[in-house]
Structure 1
Amino acid sequence: MTSDVFDVEMFIKDNVTMRKSSFFASDILSSHEILNKEIADKNVLVIGGAGTIGASFIKAILKYPVRKLYVVDTNENGLTELVRDLRSSKDLNLPEVLKTYPINFNDIIFEKLFKQEGRFHIVANFAAHKHVRSEKDLFSIEAMINNNVINAKRLLDLLVEFPPEHFFCVSTDKAANPVNIMGASKKLMENIIMAYSNKLKITTARFANVAFSNGSLLAGFFERILKKQPLSCPSDVKRYFVSPSEAGEICLLACILGTSGDIFFPKLSIEDDLVSFASIIEPFLAQFGLTVDICGSEEEAKVKAANLQVNAYPVYLFGSETSGEKLYEEFYTDSEQPDMDLYNSLGVIKVKERMSIEAASLVVKQIEDFFKTNNSEKSSLVELLNAMLPDFRHIETGLNLDQKM
């Protein structure tokens, strides 16, 4: 059993987002002329392009005739599949120059590539640690903050020397009133990149969970079925969802249409668009001719999965109890005043108070010094982040997602 048993995008439309067409279709259509003007015959660099969102952005931008496309990602296998996917897809304007490189954007090799192969008119950065589970210990946290914050600033320092016409760096809804270190790291990233917004045209976007994205809980459902392992998810957590193609579209719109300092988000509503993970399990299993068998523990679920003889599939649901887990997400804070009238599907936060580049450098130095000199508990880092981010309210339970199936 594999994901090609059914159309994933169609399943998302029918059972997750409940939208028959893209949420952003009207803004894509009404903005076609300016999108084409800003993208056609331009050189594009996508960092982290092998991931779900980066690859979806690439497909969205290749609806227009770019001149050159360069894609950088540390995932060599992902880049291989990306090229196969692009060359096997219809309705994409593949450029004559399409190059992929399995390198880290913080590496000296990347700097050589950037200087030799540029100028790049459009640069989009999707390289990010995105999982809440990445805060399980200080080693994982340091890697996450290094990628999400420190490397983002180093990239901006390079871009200042060779400024693109558009720079986009992906954020997350978890950056609004963050309760986990991943969300706090992305909020710090927002603050730091906005420090450069007077020197470069910089935009970002907070958006919903991308349904069935690489590494996501929903994508893991396919792996569990393939390996005859039970499904498991929180019973009480709700999320906003977009499809992979919608994720690419919101990033494209934010990248091209926004003015420097804009934070975009989808105008999804609490009443109509929050979906529980648990509600997706039944229609998912139905695609394989299976029904739900609710189990009372992980052990019961594993035993039943090892002895499958009927179509009832073991599922373990649990109440959320891990660190940094909100029951639902939000896109902006009470102190932010989004403009809800610019676009049909998108709200825009106009960032007015921006730190200086010197202040951004000081923040990065404080973080680097912490990891150089401090080997204490996670709580020490939380204190540092609280000082940097007044809206950060870390939820600590002593449990992390690696302790769940």
Structure 2
Amino acid sequence: MFNLNKFISENVTRRQTSLFTDDIENNKEKLQREIEGKSVCVIGGAGTIGSSFIRALLPFRPSKLIVLDLNENGLAELTRDLRSTYGLFVPEEYRTYPLNFADPIFACIFRKEKGFDIVANFSAHKHVRSEKDKYSVQALIENNDIKAKRFMDLLCEFPPKHFFCVSTDKAANPVNIMGASKRVMEDMVMAYVSKFKVTTARFANVAFSNGSLPDGWLNRVRKKQPLAAPNDVKRYFVSLEESGQICMLACILGKNGEIFFPKLGEEQMLTFSGICDEYVKALGCEKIECANDEDAKKISSEMSYDTNKYPVVYFKSDTTGEKAYEEFYIPGEKLDMVRFQGIGVIEKSRHRPLAEVEDFFIKLEHIFVNPDFTKEEVVQAIQQFIPNFEHEEKGKNLDQKM
């Protein structure tokens, strides 16, 4: 039987234990002190990273856990998973709400609770495929930036002791609008450092996370469909467990204005096609490398479920927003590489005034209010705010791929 966690540890992260095990153990007393008996609110908690964050936090016994997510089914599964895990502490006061964090109903909940000690926001458009046309771009910027700022303004009414908002390695020297929107998010949340403690984290691809290409392979095999992967782009990877742990460590241990990232070297970057090769082997199959999608689909339609061969299609990346490799930091950012075993820290080094961020958001909203706005106008506005945003429009997006 295929064991996903075993496959990830042996073939993707190539780590038998978490990269952050020592950092959690070395800081256990402080983590216990800052989390035990505290109230926690997790936005986007039904997703891969948000749910992993919750699992990392619960052993330290918070007194209250409120979870928001638009995915009602995901919240139901999160609850069943937490309550079905032997030995896992779940606070007596535990509630889930299928709400958007920008919904007025959440504002009512927040004010009734008089805020929370710990707030973590994982609600975001996280995938490069979020960028298609002008409407998809507007949606991701509304969620990642504009609504997120309104959320920050709400938090100011009852400031949390710890606030965390997830970022991405794609925010460093961004080439896609999703990554650029997260870099904007970084600047936006950091503009609130005078109001409460703010931290974030840039980290790698989460292996087999919801909606990711490798996660799609699980469904392709279940449906007897071919596997597809680019053979040129290289990515860093962390496990599902590691993704929540680094966010928890950043949230609780990070100093105001800091960005955490995993200590991973260039030699640990992998291609998706390389991982796919190992996945096919783990299934007990031999790959049939096809020249194109149609050939692969034809072969898969004719094969039996007990076959020991599997069709794959590997290709050079040619869609908008793909980068040959990823980075965690850029020149000029001040690094601390000694405080933690598995984590590097970008220290507080840049903070735009809140007024500057607000002026930029007003400019974006002026663009969006015009029904004839273009994607190019949005890109140009972001480039004025983030000069190192190098966007190349290729006229093709990931919705046109298998």
Q: Same fold (TM over 0.5)?
A: yes
Residue 210 (structure 1) aligns with:
206
> Normalising by structure 2, what TM-score?
0.98
CA drift at 1:358? 1.7
Within the alignment, does 1:372 sit opposite 2:365 as a pair?
no
Shift of 1:198: 1.2
2:133 pairs with one of 108, 128, 137: 137
Q: Equivalent residue for 1:57?
A: 53
Give the deviation of 1:374 after TM superposition.
5.7
Choose which of 191, 207, 226 in structure 2 pairs with 1:195.
191
CA RMSD of aligned residues (A): 1.1
Amino acid at match of 1:38: E
Amino acid at match of 1:167: F
Matching of residues 6-405 of structure 1 within 5 Å: 6-271=2-267, 273-309=268-304, 310-373=307-370, 375-405=372-402
Q: Is the 8 A contact 2:367 2:373 kept in 1?
A: no
Which moved further from structure 2: 99-108 or 85-94?
85-94
> How far, CA to CA, are the matches of 1:384 and 1:173 in structure 2?
22
Moved over 3 A (4+): none
Give me the identity figure in percent. Answer: 53
Aligned-pair distance for 1:6? Answer: 2.9
Gaps in structure 2 of 5+ consecutive residues: none
For the residues of structure 1 that align with 2:135 and 2:115, how far apart are their CA atoms?
Answer: 36
Give the deviation of 1:87 after TM superposition. 0.4
Please give the TM-score of this superposition, normalised by the length of structure 1: 0.97
**Structure 1 residue 89, shift from structure 2 partner:** 1.0
CA deviation after TM superposition for structure 1 residue 75, in Å: 0.3
Per-residue deviation, residues 362-400 of structure 1 (Å, max 9, x unmatched): 111111111112624322211111101011011221111
Deviation digits for residues 87-125 of structure 1 (CA, Å, limit 9, x no counterpart): 011232111111000011001001011111343100000
Q: Tell me if the contact between 1:325 and 1:395 (Cα under 8 Å) persists in the aligned partners.
A: no
Structure 2: distance between partners of 1:279 and 1:196: 42
Q: CA offset at residue 256 of structure 1? A: 0.3
Q: Is the 8 A contact 1:24 1:345 kept in 2?
A: yes
What secondary structure sits across from 1:220 in the alignment?
A: helix
AA paired with 1:161?
Answer: E
Give, in whole Å, the separation in 2 of the partners of 1:379 and 1:90.
Answer: 52
Cα distance in 1 for partners of 2:47, 2:192 equals: 26
Task: Write the distance in 1 (CA, Å) between the matches of 2:381 and 2:286.
Answer: 48
